[in-house]
Structure formats: C-alpha cells, structure tokens
C-alpha cells in the first residue's frame, strides 16, 4: 500500500485564524501566498513532524482539498479498485488513525488473510506465532 500526505492550506495560519495552542508550541506561520511558498511549507511540515512518507502539495486553487473536503485535516483509504474504502470525519475530532488501520486490515489481502506477509508490513507468520500464540480467527 502507499501513503501520501496531501499538504493543503493551513488550518490555523497566524494571519487568518490563530490557535492559542499553536502559540504555546511556538508554531506560528502565515498562509503561504504562492505555489513555491506552499511547497516550502509542505516540506517544513513533513520535516518538523518527522513524516517519512511522501508529501504532495495542493495547488493554490485548493482543488484537491475541495474535492475531498480535506481541510483542516482528514484521512482517506482508497481501495485498489480506486473507490473510497474509508473516509474519516473532519479533523481534528474525526482524525482517527485507528480507523485507518482497521480499514487496511480489511482491504489489504495480506493483512486480511494473515498469510502472505511479504513486504515487511507485519512480522513473518512464524515470528508472529511466537510472539502471539493465539492466532486471530479468520473472517
């Protein structure tokens, strides 16, 4: 499976809607005004938050954010068939990563069957049997 950050317009840019919690954390940035500024902010965001998977940047027209109602944050799982398998509620309240994990266990065949665990997603079956002698029942 693939993971992507879609960097969108800021949730609490200091010049638009400052969040006091951000100020406490000394996070205070204005809304990027150009595509280049937005790309730089996307890079900064991924670096500061220690995000290991790739970040792509929404255009200044916010077209992708609008299509997905992604602001201020939101999670999606798109199935192999290109259909939406999971859509979270709007963040911050709806941002529930466990629901993504549950969806992945349902839609990714290796995770679902607990058989072919190639790709390093989970320990190999033998390892898992040692660590977790009780095998989860198959769906």
Partner 1 sequence: MKTGLKLLAAGIALYLAITGAFFVVMSQSPEKIAKTMMRVPWTAFRVFPLRTVWMNARSGSVQRGEIAPDFSLESADHKSHFQLSSLRGQKPVVLVFGSYT
Please enumerate in sequence order all residues whose Cβ is within 8 A of that of 63, keeping only pairs 6 or more positions apart, or say none: none
According to CB under 8 A, which one of 20, 50, 120, 136 is a site residue for partner 1?
A: 20
Structure tokens at 32: 């990027």
**Residue whose tokens read 């299509």:** 67
Candidate residues 37, 96, 99, 100; the one interacting with partner 1 per rule CB under 8 A? 100
Counting contacts by CB under 8 A, is residue 9 touching partner 1?
yes
109 to 138: interface string for partner 1, x by CB under 8 A:
------------------------------
Give the Cα separation of 137 and 127 in Å (integer): 17
The interface with partner 1 within residues 23-82 (CB under 8 A) comprises 27-29, 39-46, 48-49, 54-59, 62-82
Task: Single out the residue of 24, 26, 52, 83 in contact with partner 1 (rule: CB under 8 A).
Answer: 83
Q: Are 5 and 12 in contact (CB under 8 A)?
A: no
Pick the closer one to partner 1 by CB: 18 or 135: 18
Instruction: Give CA–CA dist 99/116, Å, rounded.
Output: 23
Could you say whether residue 105 binds partner 1 (CB under 8 A)?
no
- Work out the number of other CB atoms within 10 angstroms of the CB of residue 3: 9
Residue 83: CB minimum distance to partner 1, A = 6
């Amino acid at each position: 499976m693939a993971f992507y950050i879609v960097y969108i317009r800021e949730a609490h840019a200091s010049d638009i809607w400052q969040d006091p919690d951000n100020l406490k954390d000394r996070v205070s940035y204005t809304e990027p005004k150009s595509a280049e500024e937005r790309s730089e902010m996307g890079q900064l965001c991924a670096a500061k938050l220690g995000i290991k998977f790739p970040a792509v940047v929404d255009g200044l027209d916010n077209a992708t954010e609008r299509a997905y109602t992604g602001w201020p944050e939101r999670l999606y799982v798109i199935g192999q068939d290109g259909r939406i398998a999971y859509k979270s509620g709007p963040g911050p309240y709806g941002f529930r990563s466990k629901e993504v994990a549950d969806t992945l266990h349902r839609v990714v065949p290796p995770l679902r069957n607990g058989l072919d665990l190639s790709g390093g997603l989970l320990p190999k079956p033998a390892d898992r049997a040692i660590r977790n002698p009780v095998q989860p029942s198959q769906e």
